[in-house]
Structures are given as structure tokens and as C-alpha cells.
A = this chain, B = another copy of it.
């Protein structure tokens, strides 16, 4: 976190998406450059160092997968592909061409930053890569982000699927308040037409239980705090 902000290159021919992602990712603390096609991207790559490239598969001219293949011959910078829903083949060819991960459109910007962080976390510290901690310290408790495991001292604490998802989201945004609404969406609970607010109550309950697992004194949470009117925030040591 004290490292310099990672530099991202977004390559997408749709200007709206490019701007949207750029603005969002800048807010997340990344340095962002954009390119509208493969040729443009190559020009930028010739002159600048990037820590990660976000690449749309569907582009006029050289497509994302071809670009991935070519780049892999030259550089090791991680590549995350954006593929269209339905183009299963693209995803596979992309990974085989050397992409590090993919995301299916349409996606939540938040999900993108989650995956970017996951990749940066496991990239061996190349020049300028932010090496995010793989383990969150919460007093006597430790959370292993990639494995989704919680350890209380020496004993593993069993987390349910939903709890792991929650921790995953919180650890991608440490020290940042996340609203119940955001959390519900991250948990992938479809925005059904239920009584409004009903679903958010479920978040409360999950938080309560999570606190019982990570807080020394759940009544007086120190790490998983309530931000009144805003939501919840995880603050690791």
C-alpha cells in the first residue's frame, strides 16, 4: 500500500466504457491510461511501464486475443481480458494465449478492481507492482485472502461461502466503507422485487456472525466497523 500506485492500461474501442472504467479505477487508487485499439496500445506500451493491461477481446483491427498472444512474446505484464457473454471460446483461447484472468461482460466495475487486485497480489514483485498483502491481520486473527481461510491463532475457523465472499470484498477495499446495497450485489443476490430493505437485513446478520468469528469482542467491533448511515468497513491492522 505504500508502494507507488499501480499503472493500468485499459484497451477498449468503446469510449464510454473506457472512460467509465478509467474514472472508476482512478478512484480506486490506480494510475490509468487508455487506448482505443491494439495499435494505440502498442504505442503506449513502447514508451511506458504498466503493471497490468485490461484488454477488450472484441475490437476492430487486431483483436484482444491476438494482441495477448503477441504481447506474451515480448512482455510478462499481466493481462486481464474482457469477453462478451456467450463467447466461451474466447475465454478459453484467451487463457491459452497467456491471459491471466478474464471477466465476462457485463460486469460490475467493483468486480474488475477485485480481480485486478487479485492478480497484482500474486505477481512476483516486478518493478513497480504493488504487492498487496496476501494475509490480513486482525489482531490475533489472520485472513488468507487468496485461500479464503480464516485462522484464529493456530486453529482454522470455518467460514461459510457467503462469509468468504464478504471477506473477499472487504479485503479488496480495506478501510473503505461499503454500503449494504453494494454488499448485497457483491454477494450476487439478484435484485429481486422483494420488500425493499429485506435483503439488507440479511447483510446485518452476516456481519454479526462474521464479527463473532473475527472480533475478540463482537459487541465492540474493532476491525469490522459500522459506519452509521454508510455501511460497514474493514480496517485491518
Given A76-B124, A85-B154, A161-B161, do A135 and B92 touch, yes or no (CB 8 Å)?
yes
Q: B88 near A154 (CB under 8 angstroms)? A: yes
Return the contact of A98 from the options B92, B124, B151 (Cβ within 8 A).
B124
Whether A35 is near chain B, meaning CB under 8 Å from some CB there, is: no
Distance A203 CA – B165 CA, assembled complex (angstroms)? 27
Copies of this subunit: 2
- Give the size of the chain A interface in residues (CB under 8 angstroms): 24
Q: B153 near A88 (CB under 8 angstroms)? A: yes
Distance A151 CA – B86 CA, assembled complex (angstroms)? 10
Which chain B residues border A142 with CB–CB below 8 Å? 88, 91-92
Q: How far in angstroms is the closest Cβ of chain B from A89? A: 9
Q: How far in angstroms is the closest Cβ of chain B from A123? A: 9
Distance A137 CA – B92 CA, assembled complex (angstroms)? 9
Given A134-B95, A154-B86, A154-B88, do A122 and B124 touch, yes or no (CB 8 Å)?
no
Which chain B residues border A87 with CB–CB below 8 Å? 154
**Contact code string A64-106 (vs B, CB < 8 Å = 1, else 0):** 0000000000001000000001111001100110101000000
Distance A142 CA – B93 CA, assembled complex (angstroms)? 12
Q: How far in angstroms is the closest Cβ of chain B from A229? A: 35
Distance A88 CA – B86 CA, assembled complex (angstroms)? 43
Q: Which residues of A130-158 have CB atoms within 8 Å of chain B's CB atoms?
A: 133-135, 137, 142, 144, 151, 153-154
Which chain B residues border A133 with CB–CB below 8 Å? 96
Given A76-B124, A161-B161, do A135 and B85 touch, yes or no (CB 8 Å)?
no
Which chain B residues border A124 with CB–CB below 8 Å? 76, 98
Q: Which one of A76, A85, A151, A154 has the highest number of Cβ atoms from chain B below 10 Å of its Cβ?
A: A154
Distance A134 CA – B99 CA, assembled complex (angstroms)? 11
Which chain B residues border A92 with CB–CB below 8 Å? 135, 137, 142
Q: B88 near A151 (CB under 8 angstroms)? A: yes
Distance A234 CA – B88 CA, assembled complex (angstroms)? 21
